[in-house]
Amino acid sequence: MATKTGDAGGRPTKFQPAYAEQARKLAMLGLSDAKIAEFFAVAESTLHLWKTRHGEFSECLAAGKVQADADVAAALYRTALGGAKVTELREEPDSEGNIIRKRVIRELAPHFGAQKYLLACRHPDKWRESLRFEDVTPPEQLVETAMRFDELMAAARERQRRVLIERGILPPRE
C-alpha cells in the first residue's frame, strides 16, 4: 500500500517568502493586485491563492495598501490646509553681472478642491454636490393637466380616425 507523502502534485509554486516584503512595497507604491501579479509574472488568481495560503504575504500586502492609503490621505489633508513651505533656488544676476543664488521660501495656500473633496467625503449630506428638483406644481393643477391631456389625446385620436376613414384604411362607423 502506498503512503501519502504530502505532495499534492502539480507544478511547484513560484512563491518565495521574500515576496511578502516586495508585495508590501509594491502596494505602498499604489499598484493594484493585477499589477503586482504582473510584477511577479503570475496570474492574478495565483496572487489571490498566495494570499490565502501564505499569511505573512497577505498581511504584508494589506499593510502596504493601508499605508499607501494613509499617506495619500495625509498628503490630501495637508494640501487642503495649506501652509506647507516650499524652498526654491533662484539665480539672478547682480548689478555687476555675477550670478547670485537666492533661496526663496514660500508658503502654499490652502487648496479649495482638496477641502471640498474632504468635506464631501466626511459629511456627504452637507457638502456633496447634488441636484435636487422640487416639484412645486400644486396637486389641483396636476389633476387639471391630466384631464386636459386626456381631452387632447381623445381629439387627436378622433382626427386620426377621420383621416384613416377618408383614405379608405378604416371602414366608417355607423
Question: How do residues 68-79 score in pLDDT, each as one tens digit?
Answer: 999 999 999 999
The answer to whether the CB of 75 falls within 8 A of the CB of 82 is no
Cell of 86: 516650499
> Which residues span the domain enclosing 57?
15-81
pTM exceeding 0.75: no
Residues 90 and 76 in one domain: no
Residue with cell 495637508: 78
Mean pLDDT to the nearest integer, 31-46: 95
Mean pLDDT to the nearest integer, 77-96: 88
Domain count across the chain? 3
Is 43 part of a structural domain of the chain? yes
Percent of the chain having pLDDT more than 70?
95
Is 166 part of a structural domain of the chain? yes
User: Dmax over Cα atoms in the chain, in whole Å?
Assistant: 111
Is 51 part of a structural domain of the chain? yes
Last residue of a domain, one of 42, 61, 81: 81
Percentages helix, strand, coil for the chain (3-state, rounded to 5) are: 55, 10, 35
pLDDT of 81 over the 70 cut: yes
